[in-house]
């Protein structure tokens, strides 16, 4: 793959064509929604798979999420090469997205964030677990990626395809993978689902921390309950809050 990556870096990949305008609109909204909801701050990013090509995805140039507009979006191939960066700086961790799209055909949107509520669960022996139906998407568990296991001492960043691939392997078929000492990657079959999961994952982490602090015994959501919720449509695909979030994020 590294040879391929070098080649691709020299020859920019061809574009799959203009994405669906609604995909662009939703992706820009996603950046702003995640900033407004406190999931992203000046760092982190969200991407969407290209609607015309499974081997292309769209994400912003290196920019604080709250500032992203349609003009900042760039098309990438699954080696993380931009179709046309126009000289702009890129997110060094675009490989998180690239390798998850490569490994998971069902995924059409990926969020990478450093929400403060989640960092503790990536560094402790206490597993993140679903406290209520809104977090059913983690009913089958949350794996933790420790970059040190395969790569030793690093700057903690998933800044090449190999590291992205290792992360995607730990993610497996789950919805969420925690990254030790770093953050999280969240996936979904649509932008609203990836965004909604990111928001409720943050809330669920706060709820679990508070529940543990109470000092009693906790009844977590049963994996079967979580599965039934997922089968019933996972919070109606977040359509209801998405309408609200998007209205607030776009000022419409």
249 binds its own copies (CB under 8 A): no
3 or 214: CB nearest its own copies: 214
66 binds its own copies (CB under 8 A): yes
Catalytic one among 75, 93, 99, 234?
93
Binding flag, residue 149, its own copies (CB under 8 A):
no
Asked whether 30 and 65 are in contact (CB, 8 A), the reply is no
Residue from 53, 85, 90, 211 in contact with its own copies (CB under 8 A): 211
Q: For its own copies, which residue of 155, 173, 251, 252 counts as binding (CB under 8 A)?
A: 155
Which residues partner with 45 through β-bridges?
A: 112
206 contacts its own copies (rule: CB under 8 A): yes
Residue 50: φ, ψ to 5°: -65, 135
Picking from 18, 21, 28, 20, the residue whose alpha carbon sits closest to that of residue 252 is 28
Q: Is 93 a catalytic residue?
A: yes
Tokens of 192: 């609203």
Is the separation of the CB atoms in 146 and 153 below 8 Å? no
CA distance 173 to 105: 10
- Closest to its own copies by CB, 54 vs 209, is 209
For its own copies, which is the closer residue by CB, 24 or 211?
211
Q: Specify whether the CB–CB gap between 89 and 82 falls below 8 A.
A: no
Q: Which of 46, 1, 50, 75 is nearest to 193 (CA)?
A: 46
Catalytic site positions: 93
Residues that bind its own copies (CB under 8 A): 41-43, 62-64, 66-67, 114, 116-117, 119-126, 130-134, 136, 146, 148, 153-157, 180-183, 203, 206-207, 209-222, 224-225, 228-229, 231-232, 235, 238, 240-245, 247
């Amino acid at each position: 793959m590294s040879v391929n990556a070098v080649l691709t870096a020299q020859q920019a990949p061809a574009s799959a064509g203009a994405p669906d305008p609604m995909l662009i609109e939703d992706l820009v909204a996603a950046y702003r929604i995640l900033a407004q909801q406190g999931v992203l701050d000046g760092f982190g990013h969200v991407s969407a798979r290209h609607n015309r090509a499974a081997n292309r995805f769209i994400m912003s140039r290196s920019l604080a999420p709250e500032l992203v507009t349609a003009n900042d979006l760039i098309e990438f191939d699954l080696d993380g090469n931009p179709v046309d960066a126009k000289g702009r700086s890129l997110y060094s961790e675009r490989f998180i997205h690239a390798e998850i799209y490569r490994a998971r055909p069902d995924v059409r949107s990926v969020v990478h964030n450093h929400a403060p509520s989640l960092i503790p669960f990536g560094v402790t022996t206490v597993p993140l677990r679903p406290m209520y139906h809104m977090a059913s998407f983690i009913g089958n568990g949350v794996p933790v990626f420790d970059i040190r296991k395969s790569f030793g001492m690093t700057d903690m960043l998933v800044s090449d395809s190999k590291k992205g691939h290792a992360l995607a392997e730990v993610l497996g078929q789950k919805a969420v993978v925690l990254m030790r000492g770093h953050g999280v990657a969240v996936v979904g079959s649509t932008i609203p689902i990836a965004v909604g999961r990111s928001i409720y994952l943050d809330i669920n982490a706060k709820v679990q921390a508070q529940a543990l602090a109470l000092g009693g015994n906790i009844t977590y959501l049963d994996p079967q309950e979580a599965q039934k919720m997922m089968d019933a449509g996972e919070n109606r695909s977040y359509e209801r809050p998405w309408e609200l979030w998007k209205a607030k994020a776009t000022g419409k």
